Amino acid sequence: MKAPRWMGLMAALLALGGGTGCPAEPVQCLGGGAPPQRPEARVFGVGKEVAFDVLADLVRACNADGVVRAPESVTVEVKDPENRPVPATAVLDPGGRLATIRFTGTVEGRHHVIVSFAPVGSLHQFGVFIVKDRRGEPELARVPFSPSCLNLDRTTRGTWVCGNQAWRESDTEPQSLSTRPVTTAVAGDVVWTVDGDTVRRYVDTGVGALEPAGTAPYPPGANPPGSTYPGPHARLATPDELALLSDSLLHRYTFTEAGGLATGPTAGWGRSGDTRYFGNDSVGGVLVRAGPRLLVVGLIQDPRTFETRAQACPFQPGTAGGYVSVPGEACHDLPGEPVGYEEGVVWTRTFDTSSSVLLETLRRFAVTGDRLVETGALSLEGQLVSFPTALRPGPSLPYLGAMGAVGAYVALRWNPENGRVELELGPSPTGLESPHIHEHFIWVVARDGSGLAVYPRSSTR
């Protein structure tokens, strides 16, 4: 009964590429070996010493007499993202079972590490992420909103907005925008809300409360009664326009000083029952602006292969005032499942299931002309996994962490200087709080219960 189990273990280890072994040795020598090490979240701050342990592969380190041998020496080689050597040391522990690796990464990005044990113990190759470390960064602001705040933004005049509340730092109490849950979108000094069956427009004048500046109905039946997640799937705003995506319709509201708030005709955006839902709150699609057009980005299932993929479908303003599908122009595909979006950008994730470790890759698509084009990708190499968030409240990105482990969270970061998707250790009081990573800000619940600790993202206005 034991032989099949060990044969399965051997096959798994060979698939991991741990180095050469001794397959001709008797099976019983395997009993003294150590199990293969699990991928760890090897993420360290730039300019700080990196230190971690690597276990030797002793399962195949077999003598003819069935005694497991131990490594006698170890070497390490580290290359930075530009394939330049990085000074590093490897010290073997007295028992020869593991080596401690140390080096200092002076540039951000993935570093390639090769650890070689001899005469047994195998060769190990993996990536180490050297990233910007923001864990000790001062707060940008402390806002008195509840932990249930799922979309935090700020007008250009400095008023913070979340759900049904607005708060200026000079105020003693937040302003209530409604007695019911509210979906908001901030565009400059204009705040749009979807308050049940009413769309409302507010203006921040810089003093006092937000001033009402128009209302219009949100169509009855836009979301079926009893929906688990009421309200629009997505919204996209400018100071004078609000686009809303409901279960099957694309709505458009426009504002002029002369005519006030007007409602345009709706357009159907569903894809013949092929639509699949994504995100933590069953979103059918998100909206991204591409010049005068809107792209409705959803998830569909191929009827032939049953594989799912993202798809971006173009809409443009029609003569009657609503959005219409662009005639003669097909939707274009994006590999993977959407896990986040922000202004002009959609993030997806794909999985490689060909190895024994589930490998996840995050991909960034940015608006180029009137399409979404892949601009960068980052493989998490089994060390990290993404945790998608709710997308219905507003633009949001997943945060990253090690599965089943407690540790600092990691945020995605686009570096326009080198055109790479990078990582950063997220800002927070202790480095351990689960974050909200949105279009302009990152925030965590303050440990003292006084509200939300807010930090900027690189795109913060």
Instruction: Return the ∠ at Cα 86 (arms to 83 and 87), rounded to 5°.
Output: 155
Spell out a b/e string for 356-386, using b for 16 or more CB atoms within 10 Å of the CB, else e. Answer: eeebbbbbbbbbeebebeebbbbbbbbbbbb
So where are the chain's domains?
2-130, 134-150+394-461, 157-218, 222-377
Q: Provide the token pair at 284.
A: 């059918």
Please tell me whether residue 370 adopts helix, strand or coil conformation: coil
Q: CB-side exposure of 452: number of CA atoms within 13 Å? A: 26
CA 135/CA 142 separation, integer angstroms: 16
CA 166/CA 148 separation, integer angstroms: 15
What predicted TM-score, i.e. pTM, was given to this entire model?
Answer: 0.85
- CATH dotted code for 2-130: 2.60.40.10
Residue 67, phi then psi, degrees to nearest 5: -90, 135
Sign of CA dihedral 231, 232, 237, 243: negative
pLDDT on residue 26:
36
pLDDT on residue 15:
35
Q: List per-residue pLDDT tens for the chain, 461 residues long.
A: 334 333 333 333 333 333 333 433 333 454 444 445 555 678 999 999 999 999 998 766 666 666 677 899 999 999 999 999 999 999 999 988 899 999 999 999 899 999 999 998 889 999 999 999 988 889 999 999 988 888 999 999 999 999 889 999 888 889 999 878 788 999 999 999 998 889 999 999 999 999 999 999 988 666 666 566 667 999 999 999 999 999 889 999 999 999 999 999 999 987 655 778 998 888 999 999 999 999 999 998 877 877 889 999 999 999 999 999 999 999 999 999 999 999 999 999 999 877 666 789 999 999 999 999 999 999 998 888 898 889 999 999 999 987 655 567 899 989 888 888 999 998 877 766 778 999 899 999 888 878 999 999 876 54
Q: CB-side exposure of 174: number of CA atoms within 13 Å? A: 18
pLDDT on residue 163:
87
